[in-house]
Structure 1
């Protein structure tokens, strides 16, 4: 087939010659074959050794666990078990393996042997070893760690430890890889002084080592349970404050400084957050060191996005846009690959997000973009370009009443002139999705046709449902069979709540269930909750009887602190209403002017505050204030 082309014919002959007369194998292939053969011999030797050990242990366990042989038996059995363990959750303790190849009795016997083994040894701390041996340890200590995992399966094991045993347990805990053992929390509860002396002092030794930018122990603590983290917060707090007080920007290059700040932000108190935020703002004033800006910007973005953007705009005002400018580095650090910054904090305020996107477009100009071909290592400019794209996509994806106006403002920017039509098209598409957000299944359609209602699956639907049910209650009070007169006699809120809940349950039609006096996380009780039957969503109604002596300030506190601050705190419960009932001509005093306010004025004023509160709870949140007028109807009013 290639005879008419000399080039192809020669190539075919070369291929044929290579097959018929192969050359010597390359050196790497020879070495690989040697390694493979050696691995097979080693595996066969280990397998034969394991079979022999298994037969001896299975046939005569009493002899294998005798005083003279128990150490050797424990070591060999642990080595086999450790190799089999694919789940490292228990660091070499794998009772399932023992029960699978022997039985449960052997696993119990081995557990006792390991519990005795870890008590016979005392691992050294990293700070106690020579400098060239700090990252190495004896393998038998790993077996002791497995013994502690085995013993910790007992619920009350930590309470039985002596002070010396707790000391050894802390030493073993520091041998764990990339974490602290879960059982350390139990040891800390029983022996807090020991844990503080052993692990706390070791932590401070790593933190105060000026030559080390990273603290492995601090990283392990950051991945521990909140109870363990809180145990070391005092030491972390004092070290961080001491470090930040130094007028040395180079200290921020250390990974342990940023990690310590993150631990305080996530697990500290309000004073910690206020201190870190105030420190960050003060460090960015004037002409801060270039190395300080990305560090503090990242922290402020987590704590207060508005302040972060204000500082970025202020500092960027004197910097000319360029392909590799300091502002480009800021965006690469804040929002680039691996930053881990949660953009939801910016999405809560679309105006803030718009300012951020405009700043990115102004300094990360499209005409300066890098375009790579083939394999490459991304740099700060690449990360900044990705951040600009991600922020723009986030802006175009926002929802809510102000979303359309924000996107149209963005489309009018000169920096997006070359894709303005695309921005408008995406904005129109998202607007259509908002308008047509309710997606019903076949079962929902059947329920809608039968019951004229369906169970909500979003905050917006839950808010519409609550608003409709409150309107239904108002309509009920106007009917001939109205419970108005009976409800007007009630002065105990729990009794009126029950009556109201009963009516809401009658109106449920399968869309929700009614729950009364549900206990919240801080042991307070709300009045009524409507729980969707189709999704993990709830609406809460807080009831106040106007005749029970509530002032306007009391009602305002109930709205801000009780309803929004407590009952509506969970993400799935961002729909709520403060319901105020009156059965007489009740008046309130205006806290600003002292003028008299009727129920309608109180409701209107509180409802305006409720709308502002809803805006701070995220998209789809609903907060309302409604009145339940139980006063006798005036003559001439006809019933519906």
Structure 2
């Protein structure tokens, strides 16, 4: 009876607070700390959710409300009963506006390792969704929990947390942990893999709320391969046309496993293409290998297409025969086109200055001519800089840049006469690919070779074969194609050869009479 009287009193109190908050413009603004605490006590007793006025109370008194919420959650966790975390559950599912202010306190509670899995999941959701907790803080805690576990039941959740914020460091230890379990109990290893992937990605039709640092082609590929080892295709449940059913862990896990591939397939770029090709080679199911080959082919075709032009781009092209680049790829294409135009002017033009330029035996002099030529034809579509110093003190010869976006295209220039063949191959890989394209904003570069006619042949890399200048340019472009799989973040390298002797060599001597 006392419970009924108490419940009725709570209901009347909540109704009064609801009425006041809806009618008074400055409601709660002048509340004392005691009044804030009383209002919070009522809010904590609301069934299933917080009352509509509670966020407003928090806006007026954030520190006090946060303190009381933290205190209440701490008390609930001390009760050690599965069904005694009403406030934590409400904060988790309907109190996202509280997360940032209480997240550090929740991290402390996580460090003490909650007994119940449901509490662990609620606390993880709060800290994962809070901007006040860094990826590094979460990774440190999760790594420690995985390496020195208190309960084996919680380890999959800690690995999911670790992978969500630091997949590069976490996936390998998780794979090793599963392999160790699998030696003695294959069924248990499968169960742990299923728990982890569902915790990481969430159940069907609902996300997990975990962070998504793992959503890169390489990490998605690694996770997909790993999940197929333990959540095997041949053991999948097939529910189609079987009537109503309640999804089990296996249902959610096999859907999460397949969702990894769906996420991978939507990411544009070369890295995805290479990941799909690798999966097509290693997938244990033949039918899936065929499908993955098709995915890789489609990805390659889609990425080869340029972005559709806007009406303003069509108009600009009609006037100038060029478009202002709107992204890194378009800037690269324009830079290549400008350098090819320069090549044609020097090798084929009636007013070619090739014979004069061929007298310059230093790369600095050639670089200035190329940069000035490209700069004079930019028409504000790009800027070309010379030897711009990067953060690591490296200086690419030139860079095409745009004021519209931060994704420059580096250009490396070499006077072919001054270099041996193997040295040029090394510079293409280590200087252009290894140094100048390390920046995540840039994935395309240009390697320009200028020939003055002072050298006749070049030795190919790791070979005694001697080649001409034209053959050298082709060999360098082919070398990049061989290197390409080793540089998944680099989309394209163009090797352009400019032969300053070409026009002169075509002039035939006059016949003797």
TM-score band, normalised by shorter chain: 0.5 to 0.7
Question: Deviations for 1:175-224, whole angstroms, at most 9, x for unmatched residues?
Answer: 962149xxxxxxxxxxxxxxxxxxxxx98x9858797986989969x966
- TM-superposed CA distance for 1:568, in Å, is 2.0
Q: Is the 8 A contact 1:463 1:621 kept in 2?
A: no
| Residues 359 and 48 of structure 1: CA distance in aligned 2, closer, same or farther (over 3 Å) | closer
Number of positions where the alignment pairs a residue of Structure 1 with one of Structure 2: 434
Q: Distance in 2 between matches of 1:414 and 1:48?
A: 67
Q: Distance in 1 between matches of 2:405 and 2:60?
A: 34
Residue segments in structure 1 that go unaligned for 5+ positions in a row = 1-26, 54-81, 93-128, 134-174, 181-201, 267-272, 295-324
Q: Distance in 1 between matches of 2:142 and 2:60?
A: 35
Question: Deviations for 1:154-188, whole angstroms, at most 9, x for unmatched residues?
Answer: xxxxxxxxxxxxxxxxxxxxx962149xxxxxxxx
* Matching residue of 1:448: 317
| Residues 223 and 599 of structure 1: CA distance in aligned 2, closer, same or farther (over 3 Å) | farther
SS of aligned partner of 1:504:
helix
1:515 is aligned to 2:385? yes
Question: Deviations for 1:566-594, whole angstroms, at most 9, x for unmatched residues?
Answer: 32233432111122333221654445245
- TM-superposed CA distance for 1:520, in Å, is 2.7
SS of aligned partner of 1:625:
strand
Deviates more, 1:325-334 or 1:513-522: 325-334
Deviates more, 1:33-42 or 1:493-502: 33-42
| Residues 399 and 369 of structure 1: CA distance in aligned 2, closer, same or farther (over 3 Å) | farther
- TM-superposed CA distance for 1:452, in Å, is 0.9
* Matching residue of 1:439: 308
| Residues 577 and 358 of structure 1: CA distance in aligned 2, closer, same or farther (over 3 Å) | farther
Q: Is the 8 A contact 2:422 2:459 kept in 1?
A: no
Q: Is the 8 A contact 1:488 1:630 kept in 2?
A: yes
Q: Distance in 2 between matches of 1:364 and 1:439?
A: 44
Q: Distance in 2 between matches of 1:597 and 1:358?
A: 49
Residue in structure 2 matching 1:36, options 6, 10, 15: 15
Q: Is the 8 A contact 1:526 1:541 kept in 2?
A: yes
* Matching residue of 2:394: 524
* Matching residue of 2:239: 368
Question: Which one has the largest radius of gyration?
Answer: 1
> Counterparts in 2 of 1:143-154, with a 5 A limit?
none
* Matching residue of 2:491: 621
Q: Distance in 2 between matches of 1:442 and 1:264?
A: 43
Q: Is the 8 A contact 2:156 2:195 kept in 1?
A: no
Q: Distance in 2 between matches of 1:370 and 1:249?
A: 40
* Matching residue of 1:86: 59
- TM-superposed CA distance for 1:444, in Å, is 0.8
Residue segments in structure 2 that go unaligned for 5+ positions in a row = 1-5, 33-54, 65-74, 80-99, 509-513
* Matching residue of 2:102: 177
- TM-superposed CA distance for 1:556, in Å, is 3.3
Q: Distance in 2 between matches of 1:354 and 1:263?
A: 19
| Residues 211 and 578 of structure 1: CA distance in aligned 2, closer, same or farther (over 3 Å) | same
Q: Distance in 1 between matches of 2:116 and 2:236?
A: 38
Q: Is the 8 A contact 1:582 1:630 kept in 2?
A: yes
> Counterparts in 2 of 1:273-352, with a 5 A limit?
273=169, 277=172, 280-281=175-176, 284=179, 287=183, 289-290=185-186, 293=189, 332=198, 336=202, 337-338=207-208, 340=212, 342-345=214-217
> Counterparts in 2 of 1:233-632, with a 5 A limit?
239=144, 243=148, 250=152, 253=155, 255-256=157-158, 259=161, 273=169, 277=172, 280-281=175-176, 284=179, 287=183, 289-290=185-186, 293=189, 332=198, 336=202, 337-338=207-208, 340=212, 342-345=214-217, 362-363=233-234, 367-369=238-240, 379-382=249-252, 384-385=254-255, 387-388=257-258, 391-392=261-262, 395=265, 437-458=306-327, 460-478=329-347, 479-532=349-402, 536-548=406-418, 550-583=419-452, 584-585=454-455, 587-615=457-485, 621-631=491-501
Q: Distance in 1 between matches of 2:172 and 2:225?
A: 23
Q: Distance in 1 between matches of 2:371 and 2:330?
A: 20
Q: Distance in 2 between matches of 1:34 and 1:393?
A: 49
Q: Distance in 2 between matches of 1:593 and 1:255?
A: 53
User: Which structure is higher in RCO with an 8 Å CA cutoff and minimum separation 6?
Assistant: 2
| Residues 477 and 353 of structure 1: CA distance in aligned 2, closer, same or farther (over 3 Å) | farther
- TM-superposed CA distance for 1:542, in Å, is 1.3
Question: Deviations for 1:497-544, whole angstroms, at most 9, x for unmatched residues?
Answer: 222111112333454332333333433222222234665543221122
SS of aligned partner of 1:177:
helix
- TM-superposed CA distance for 1:448, in Å, is 0.7
Q: Is the 8 A contact 1:577 1:626 kept in 2?
A: yes
Q: Distance in 2 between matches of 1:602 and 1:488?
A: 19
Q: Is the 8 A contact 2:401 2:407 kept in 1?
A: yes
Q: Distance in 1 between matches of 2:177 and 2:116?
A: 27
SS of aligned partner of 1:477:
helix
| Residues 360 and 528 of structure 1: CA distance in aligned 2, closer, same or farther (over 3 Å) | farther
Question: Deviations for 1:63-85, whole angstroms, at most 9, x for unmatched residues?
Answer: xxxxxxxxxxxxxxxxxxx9877
Q: Distance in 1 between matches of 2:151 and 2:9?
A: 54
TM-score between both structures, scaled by the size of structure 2: 0.60
Question: Deviations for 1:212-271, whole angstroms, at most 9, x for unmatched residues?
Answer: 986989969x96687x959x99x8799579638xxx9927627456646766656xxxxx
Deviates more, 1:472-481 or 1:529-538: 529-538
Q: Distance in 1 between matches of 2:30 and 2:199?
A: 56
- TM-superposed CA distance for 1:342, in Å, is 3.9
What is the aligned-residue RMSD (CA, Å)? 6.1
- TM-superposed CA distance for 1:442, in Å, is 1.9
Question: Deviations for 1:432-454, whole angstroms, at most 9, x for unmatched residues?
Answer: 96676442222111111111111
Q: Is the 8 A contact 1:528 1:541 kept in 2?
A: yes
Q: Is the 8 A contact 1:615 1:621 kept in 2?
A: no
| Residues 52 and 429 of structure 1: CA distance in aligned 2, closer, same or farther (over 3 Å) | closer
Q: Is the 8 A contact 1:331 1:384 kept in 2?
A: no
TM-score between both structures, scaled by the size of structure 1: 0.50
Q: Is the 8 A contact 2:399 2:410 kept in 1?
A: yes
